[in-house]
Amino acid sequence: MSDYRVLPGPEHFLPPAAASMGIRLPNPGEAHINGVITSEENAYEEAARQFLMAKVPTIFPGPLVLWAWNEKAAKKATAIRHLFNTLKECVQPGQKPMLIPMPDYRPKYPKINPEVEINPNHPNLTIWHNKIDCCIFVGVHCHQANLSLKIIRGGTSCYTIAMCAQAGHEDAMLSIRDTSVEKIMRLADTIKRLKGTVQPRQASA
Amino acid sequence: MSKERIQISEALYDIMPSDYQDLVKSATYGKEDRGWKDIGTSKELIEQHSLCAGCPESMAFRYILASLPNPEDTVMVGSTGCTSLVFPMVAVHNIHSLFGNQNAIASGLKRALSVRFPGRVKDVVVLAGDGATVDIGLDMTLQAWFRQEKFTTICFDNELYANTGGQESGLMQKGFVAKMAPVGKLFDKVRLPEIARESGCHYVVNCTVSKPSLVEKVIRNAVHIAREIGPTYLQLYTPCILEIGKNSMEGLQEMRDSEKPTERFAYKEYISEPAKQLLTELAAKDKERKAAAKQLAAQAQAN
């Protein structure tokens, strides 16, 4: 097993792909935290703790859920809205949960508005601008998620969580695989359960 | 993605940036009579872009995107050059190819789309500069025409390599001195429209983009003919105002000056016989449709 750990950065300009450092993806029913395979239950707890500790916990929904291209996508969008509403109810004063969309993957130049969107080709603009210290990717196609997660790990200290509809993301600090509506709701329930048991971090990102 | 699928999830609608909301609400996807006159009254398929102020290429982009007959089922193929700065801001599927191989990419794409979506109209439009079309990519351009690939090739002819500082290109006019071509061009401008005709293109036009209605007409013709019959080619003059020493406001006049009857961008059009027949049929259908719509409107008014 690899000694490499997928930790919050800034790692350096070109962080290695976690896969190239020997980090493997979880099997069905498993998840990973910092590159170490663990149970899904542990991952939900840790994700909820990280969200409740963060000063600016942020959900980044991607095109797979922002666009209602099928019924399942629309249902996932509703679950994500529920997750965000739960988060807002559970945080303490001073914490600022955000819901920022990643509508598509065009490398939008000359600029994006980091207050209203995130672009996978320069995600750090949105992370830095909003001082985001914990984020979750959901509904982002795998190749763009990996690109973005690596850039964030390279240039920020943001804790990244990836809820993937496929096999998970080794480049996130925590990843849950086979994401469904039920799994998103389960994360919301875990956040609700842990409300008040976790103290928010003092320092900002 | 077809038009029916361009819908935002209701639960997350409020967080979508306004340009995406506008695209869904008021862009002209699926509109039968879309054209340049929609500019200003509906959401354009081009957001802010990074071309120079007053660049005629940006005008051309706006007219072309407003005139594509089927934007929701069109894939554009671009190449290296000023156009590649714009494509990221375009709300039509597009592929950036390597410098010069845009027509090879489009050939494969068009064939793959017809296999993957056999019952559906899928248009492919190549849009590249003169360097990509005539110099670096001439092989791919011509081979696609020889093979009668069913897509449209548009060349934005600015008569030099504008993006890299003004080097000589095949479409530069004889004797022209540019920043990176100080001796002046020794040879004639390549006569690509004539070559296109001889290579099997069914519709060839050489013009400027000074008249939006003309751009709309040639784009619609080119796409319809390519869809049904075979390759089509448009050579549009989009002068680089920086490289020819003009100011931002002088692009339009430069095009008007260059399209006079004796000038190199005087309107030239070639239509093959099968293409002529198709255009006649399309015009008749269009007339019929308009008459029916007029009759319906009159009936509605009477009731």
A24 touches chain B (CB under 8 A): no
Residues in B closer than 8 angstroms to A80, CB to CB, are 11-12
Least-confidence region, from A98-102, A135-139, A199-203, B14-18: A199-203
Q: Which residues pair with A37 in a beta bridge?
A: A32
What pLDDT sits at residue B295? Answer: 92
- Asked if residue B1 has pLDDT above 70, the reply is no
Contact A107 B88 (CB under 8 A): yes
What pLDDT sits at residue B184? Answer: 94
Which sign, positive or negative, has the C-alpha torsion B217, B223, B226, B228?
negative
Residue B274, preceding peptide bond in cis (omega within 30° of 0): no
B302 touches chain A (CB under 8 A): no
DSSP 3-state helix, strand, coil percentages of chain A (rounded to 5)?
40, 15, 50
Work out the pLDDT band at A205, boundaries 50, 70, 90: very low
The mean pLDDT value of chain A amounts to 94
Query: What distance in Å separates residue B142's CA from the closest CA in chain A?
Result: 30
**CA B246 to the chain's CA centroid:** 24
**Cα gap A164→A32, rounded to integer Å:** 12
B31-271: what fold?
Answer: Rossmann fold (3.40.50)
**How much is the pTM?**
0.89
Interface test with B, best of A65, A100, A109, A130 (most B CBs within 10 A): A109
Q: Residues A75-119: pLDDT tens digits? A: 999 999 999 999 999 999 999 999 999 998 988 776 789 999 999
ipTM, two decimals, is 0.94
What pLDDT sits at residue B88? Answer: 87
Task: Output DSSP code: residue B135.
Answer: I
Give percent of chain B above pLDDT 70.
98
Q: In chain B, what are the domain boundaries?
A: 31-271
**Cα gap B169→B182, rounded to integer Å:** 13
Candidates B10, B20, B88; nearest CB to A103: B20
What pLDDT sits at residue A106? Answer: 85
- Asked if residue B2 has pLDDT above 80, the reply is no
What is the mean pLDDT of the segment spanning B123-130?
A: 97
Query: What distance in Å separates residue B25's CA from the closest CA in chain A?
Result: 14
Structure tokens at B7: 């819908």
- Asked if residue B129 has pLDDT above 60, the reply is yes
**CA A44 to the chain's CA centroid:** 12
- From the number of C-beta atoms within 10 Å of its C-beta (0-12, 13-18, 19+), residue B53 rates as exposed
Q: Which CATH superfamily is domain A36-194 in?
A: TPP-binding domain (3.40.50.1220)
The type of residue at A39 is S
Residues in A closer than 8 angstroms to B85, CB to CB, are 109
Contact A61 B16 (CB under 8 A): no
- From the number of C-beta atoms within 10 Å of its C-beta (0-12, 13-18, 19+), residue B187 rates as exposed
